[in-house]
Chain A
Amino acid sequence: MLFFSYFKELVGKEVTVELKNDLAIRGTLHSVDQYLNIKLENTCVVDQDKYPHMLSVRNCFIRGSVVRYVLLPQDGVDIDILHDATRREARGG
């Protein structure tokens, strides 16, 4: 639940999602659900010359199970809050 809540806080921010097939997609985070499926708006593929497969796609849905990394904006992490939340989660609520 912690990461679900965390990603919900990031809605509206610019993120880059790297997939397990090495494709990296940059866009504005539109929404996240319990499976950590992600919807991005205004997307562009990071290496468009190598991956022209999504040239006509501006909005996309990414299945949570294929996400390798989510690269966050610099101001997207408040380490103190995240530390506290992580400890609370580790104690079991």
Chain B
Amino acid sequence: MASGSPALEPLVDQVISVITNDGRNIVGTLRGFDQATNIILDESHERVYSRKEGVQQLVLGLYIIRGDNISVVGEVDEELDSRLDMSKLRAHPLKPVIH
């Protein structure tokens, strides 16, 4: 892979995990993006973390996320992901970004 710019091109049509500035975690298939990191996510769902119970998955569908509101875009390793037992994962929700 060319180590020129960190654009999201290689992640198109792959499953990605987005962490937003308000601390949400949205997982879906990357369909498109632009210079400002605006993102089109297909077949997306939100993973809601809490201390009291396992991770809840909420179906969202087709989403556009504005780049301003994005912290991290992670490439999901589907094998690692399928091995995770979401019902046992407990964690505080992520803190929002404070600029």
Contact = CB atoms under 8 A, between A and B. Distances in A.
A37 B89 contact: no
Interface string B1-36: 101111110010000010101010100000000000
Which range contains the number of B residues in contact with the other chain? Answer: 35 or more
A63 B80 contact: no
Contacts, number: 103
Nearest to B93: A53
Nearest to A29: B3
Interface residues of A, number: 32
Interface stretch (A54-62, A73-81, A84-92): A54-62
Contacts of A54: 17, 19, 72, 74
A8 to B, nearest CB: 9
Interface of A: 11-12, 19-23, 25, 30-33, 37-39, 43, 50-63, 65-66
Q: Which 5 A-B pairs have the closest CB atoms?
A: A57-B74, A39-B6, A56-B81, A60-B74, A56-B80
